[in-house]
Amino acid sequence: MAKQNWKHGTMLYPVPAVLVTCRHGGRDNVLTVSWAGTICSDPPMLSISIRPERFSFNMIKSSREFVVNVPTADMAREVDFCGVKSGAEVDKFKALGLIRTKARVVRAPVIAQCPLAIECKVEEIIELGSHHLFISRVLGVLADESLMDNKGRFHLEGAGLLCYNHGHYCRTSRPIAKFGFSVRRKSKKR
Ligand SMILES: Cc1cc2nc3c(=O)[nH]c(=O)nc-3n(C[C@H](O)[C@H](O)[C@H](O)COP(=O)(O)O)c2cc1C
């Protein structure tokens, strides 16, 4: 297929759009982050990249803790709002009716409406340029019981999670196949 050659830039999509919560100096805040990803399985680690001008930046840099709250596509409005409004001007929890619950390990709050919350501790901060990379250890995961089946399996594929695709919020709720399906042998009919 014919391709156009564009000037360099970031173009890896889709990416998550998560609600990162933090607590510092007697205040809570939440911001939307798309430059986020898993970077190691064992030990479990993820990273988020944040611009120093964000209100949350110094909160996370000082507390060295945060929670990654994974939203559903039904929460697109909340995700967008938390990505365009600053905690310096507005209490985003109050404005959106986001319910805060306690995390297990860190002091940053968990957003009850999100089906998944990942508690993180910052291990290293690297200044890359526009964004600083927060390399972080996962200390715990809180998963919504409503997505568990009666065998205790977690069905995140059915949660209708949100992703961000080149300026658009999308829903990720149409599973195509299971991991390993391309090499799995079909069971013989008896
Ligand atoms: C979809 C989306 C993704 C975003 N991703 C990031 C990101 O990865 N890093 C970042 O610093 N800001 C990102 N932003 C911008 C911040 O969320 C936004 O500036 C927010 O208002 C900062 O809030 P705060 O000032 O309360 O910390 C994103 C915004 C949107 C809408």
pLDDT tens, 7-23? 888 999 999 999 999 99
Instruction: Summarize pLDDT for 44-88 with one digit per residue, the tens.
Output: 999 999 999 999 999 999 999 999 999 999 999 999 999 999 999
| Number of the ligand 1 atom closest to the C-alpha atom of 48 | 8
Q: What is the mean pLDDT of residues 114-139?
A: 98
For the chain, the residue count is: 190
Cross-strand partners of 162: 171
Is the beta carbon of 47 within 6 A of some atom in ligand 1?
no
Mean predicted confidence (pLDDT) in 107-122 = 98
Of ligand 1's listed atoms, the one at least distance from the Cα of 87 is: 26
Tell me which DSSP letter residue 60 carries: H
| pLDDT at site 66 | 99
> What pLDDT score was predicted for residue 45?
98
CA angle 33, 74, 14 (to 5 degrees): 45
pLDDT on residue 189: 63
Q: Which of 69, 68, 79, 62 is nearest to 27 (CA)?
A: 62
Q: What are 27-42's pLDDT values in tens digits?
A: 999 999 999 999 999 9
Based on C-alpha coordinates, what's the Rg of the chain?
18
Does the pLDDT value for residue 114 go beyond 70?
A: yes
16 lines ligand 1 (CB under 6 A): no
Domains by residue range for the chain, with CATH: 15-172 (2.30.110.10)
Give the per-residue pLDDT at 173.
83
| Three-state secondary-structure class, residue 24 | strand
